[in-house]
Amino acid sequence: MAKRTFSASSSGGTSLLPWLGLAVIVILADQFTKTLILGYFQLGDSRHVTDFFNIVRAHNTGAAFSFLAGASGWQRWFFVGLGAVATIFIVWMLKKHGQQRMFAWALSLIMGGALGNVIDRLMHGYVVDFLDFHWGARHFPAFNVADSAITLGAVLLILDELLRVRRS
**DSSP-assigned beta bridge partners for residue 127:** 60
Residues acting as catalytic residues: 129, 147
Type of residue found at 111:
M
Q: Pick from 72, 58, 67: which is nearest to 124 by CA?
A: 58
Nearest one of 53, 39, 82, 68 to 126, comparing CA atoms: 68
In three-state secondary structure terms, 148 is helix
Closest of 131, 91, 137 to residue 112, by C-alpha: 91
User: Of 141, 157, 148, 94, which Cα lies nearest the Cα of 117?
Assistant: 148
